[in-house]
Amino acid sequence: MATVDIREVGPRDGLQSEDPVAVEDRVRLIEALMDAGVCHVEACSFVSPKAVPAMAGAAEVMASVDRRPGVTFTALVPNVKGASMALEASVDELTVTISASPAYNEKNVRMTVEESLVQVAEICELAAAVPVDAVVSCAFGSPYEGDTDPAAAHDLGRRLLDAGASALTYADTTGVGTPRRVEDLLAWTGTGVGLHLHDTRGTALVNAYAALRAGVRRFDTAVGGLGGSPFAADAGGNLATEDLVHLLDDLGEESGVDLGRLLEASALVGSLVGHPVPSKVAAAGPRGRRAS
């Protein structure tokens, strides 16, 4: 029984800033991740292929992938049109993003935060029984306004729940979070939230550790530590799934993910994107490795 829910966002956040990977290869990656025990995966985003070319073919990904029982398939949707397409593709969960940084929100989706909130409400109404996880980006700060006040991030979260969101995830989009700031935010939000951490400044794992200690049980991670925002130049990669699993295994926490099989998926994604992945566990191998 898993004690920690890993939502694997590699097929979406991990690939969105890379050169486009073919639909069949993205499907192959998702299946390799499921082979490793991943049971929650953000498979794609229903965005304009003009805006994010690497995410073209979301419906094809959902139609082709083996929908294994017990696996939750999530799609990121930027608007009602995207939500409608995602629901047509029978996803199990939607994610929507809204930023605690007004400037980032306007650059990212060309809407004010208020406009985004209205849109989230419309998406939630459309989604009906399909859960909508609202991801609060720049939850710790942004390159525009600097530090985010945790009370303000929490307030935005409450408004998202009021708008119909079924769950909240707080994202450290540009990697400005720290263990202390994670604790500060959790003091407002409680620990029943997800965290989506980026490793821009090498702090993703220590932030996850601080959150785990505080009681957080939901994390977004990307295989290989790939990732970054097409709209934030220095977003940096996501917390690598293998780095978190490596830590969880040692802590005796159960994620359901087999590290050895996961490293096979990590090698696959490295070959698909054509460059080494950032994860150091992927490069060095897990801690049990012996000299040959």
Q: Please give the C-alpha separations between residue 128 and each of 28, 53, 65, 124, 164, in angstroms, as whole numbers.
A: 30, 29, 24, 6, 9
192 binds a second copy (CB under 8 A): no
Q: Residue from 247, 259, 265, 277 that binds a second copy (CB under 8 A)?
A: 247
143 binds a second copy (CB under 8 A): yes
Residue length of the chain: 292
CB count, 10 Å around CB of 46? 24
Cα angle value 116/196/229 (rounded, 5°): 65
**CB hemisphere CA count around 28 (13 angstroms):** 13
* Min CB(10)–a second copy separation in Å: 16
Q: Whose Cβ is closer to a second copy: residue 57's or residue 141's?
A: 141
Among the residues of 146-223, which ranges form H helices? 150-162, 179-189, 204-214
Q: Whose Cβ is closer to a second copy: residue 20's or residue 285's?
A: 285
Cα angle value 254/259/265 (rounded, 5°): 125
* Min CB(201)–a second copy separation in Å: 5
Q: Whose Cβ is closer to a second copy: residue 65's or residue 248's?
A: 248
Select from 143, 29, 133 the least CA-distant residue to 75: 133
Encoded one letter per residue, x for contact with a second copy by CB under 8 A and - for no contact, window 71-100 reads: ------------------------------
For residues 136 and 262, give the distance between their C-alpha atoms in angstroms, rounded to a whole number: 28
The phi, psi pair for 163, rounded to 5°, reads: -80, -5
Q: Whose Cβ is closer to a second copy: residue 128's or residue 291's?
A: 291
Q: Whose Cβ is closer to a second copy: residue 78's or residue 236's?
A: 236
Q: Whose Cβ is closer to a second copy: residue 37's or residue 143's?
A: 143
178 binds a second copy (CB under 8 A): yes
Stretch that binds a second copy, among 69-77, 130-138, 194-202, 269-277 (CB under 8 A): 194-202
Q: Residue from 203, 221, 238, 241 that binds a second copy (CB under 8 A)?
A: 203
Q: What is the distance between the terminal CA atoms of the chain, rounded to a whole angstrom? A: 34
Rounded to 10 degrees, what is the CA torsion of 121, 127, 132, 135? -50
254 binds a second copy (CB under 8 A): no
Q: Whose Cβ is closer to a second copy: residue 109's or residue 277's?
A: 277
231 binds a second copy (CB under 8 A): no
Q: Whose Cβ is closer to a second copy: residue 92's or residue 183's?
A: 183
* Min CB(281)–a second copy separation in Å: 5
* Min CB(277)–a second copy separation in Å: 12
Give me the helix-helix angle, 23-35 and 259-273, nearest 10°.
Answer: 170
Residues in contact with a second copy by CB under 8 A are 141, 143-144, 146, 175-176, 178-181, 199-203, 205-206, 209-210, 234, 236, 240, 243, 246-247, 250-251, 279-281, 284-291
